[in-house]
Chains A and B, each alone.
Chain A
Amino acid sequence: MIKLTALQKDALGELLNIGMGRASASLSEMVGEEVELSVPHVNILPYKEAVNSVSENVGKEVTAVRESFKGAFWGDALLLFPENQSLQLVKALLKDQELPIEILSEMEQEALTEVGNIILNACLGSLSNIFEQNLEFELPKYSHGSCSEVLKQDKRTLQDQHNEGVLLLQMNFSLEKTKVNGYLTLLMDVDSMEALSKQLSIYFGGAV
């Protein structure tokens, strides 16, 4: 299985940190409270282990917004919430709208999709700007279910290559007042990982 050097891992973690910093500023603007961030986790794992790792963090049942991206590197970006926490976030988001709880529940899917879109775009957009490479995003998709179902790929990208491992970039964020924890996860296949390593090398002038 392909390996990243300690320096490459460090560089990826730092870039994710910058991307997530931007994303958390957007989230904070939306809910009007401070967002706490974890340290970034960077791992290359067999696909099944990657799913297990996400499941251990987020829980077996999750709510997710997924956005696939392509360009100089490619993969899937997911914003994951433990099953019972997504409505809390929607409530915080729409707190000034004075909507009854039935309407809030109805709007949950739509609101989360838009939150996911903003957070994932902020994170990936800052990576794209750092590398000076354009990325194209698919429309955000909402899903809900078991962690393995939600992470399952409907395209060639990860499924065909799961033996070679996937790059898993993960960072957790939490809203203390609203009591919501979310997980931003980037999954990339081996070819994309190599393309990303090339970008890292260009960006750090060959030092990484």
Chain B
Amino acid sequence: MTENTMLIVDDSGLSRMMIKKFAQASKPNWQIIEAEDGEDALKKCQGQDIDYMTVDYNMPGMDGLTLCIKLRELFPQAKISLLTANIQNSVKDRADELGVIFIQKPVTEDKIKTFIHS
């Protein structure tokens, strides 16, 4: 069976490290692609088939929701989550409108597990 590919976009190396660790604890065979901002993510996902994505909101360059719109066009079937410390209702509402799952930081194993089993 083909294993899934997960894209992790976060400008914090620490966050990427933790998300990756928790994802691999549940799904050790998944391919993980890490990107540090929106532009890097769009470059690295070229030619890939991405199934799951976690996207931070506050990053240098484009914000996470702008990136989610672009990623949604490229991967209409993918499960996308906005994984952010920004808990404002306005951000949550925009994520909802885009069909993006909102996950509040800090990153925990349970939150990542729930997302990748959703």
Contacts and interface: CB of A to CB of B under 8 A. Distances in A.
B89 interface: yes
A29 B58 contact: no
A113 B87 contact: no
A93 to B, nearest CB: 8
Give chain B's interface secondary structure class.
Answer: loop
Nearest to B10: A114
B12 A114 contact: yes
A132 B90 CA distance: 8
Given A30-B106, A118-B105, A137 B14 contact: no
A77 to B, nearest CB: 12
B106 A118 contact: yes
Contacts, number: 57
Nearest to A123: B87
Interface in A112-148: 113-114, 117-118, 120-122, 125-126, 128-129, 132, 134-135, 137, 139
Interface residues of A, number: 24
B14 A110 contact: yes
A29 B108 contact: yes
**Chain B CB within 10 A, most for which of A111, A125, A129, A135:** A125
Nearest to B18: A97
Contact of B85 (A97, A111, A122, A129): A122
A26 interface: yes
A91 interface: no
B88 A125 contact: yes
A107 interface: yes
B28 interface: no
B11 A139 contact: yes
A117 B58 contact: yes
B76 interface: no
Contacts of A118: 85, 105-106
Contacts of A121: 58, 84-87, 105
Interface of A: 22, 26, 29-30, 97, 107, 110-111, 113-114, 117-118, 120-122, 125-126, 128-129, 132, 134-135, 137, 139
The 10 closest A-B pairs by CB, nearest first: A121-B85, A125-B87, A118-B85, A114-B12, A30-B106, A134-B90, A128-B88, A125-B88, A114-B14, A118-B105
5 contacts: A26-B104, A117-B12, A121-B105, A132-B89, A134-B90
Given A110-B14, A114-B12, A134-B90, 9 more contacts: A107-B14, A111-B14, A117-B85, A120-B85, A121-B58, A121-B105, A122-B87, A126-B87, A137-B58
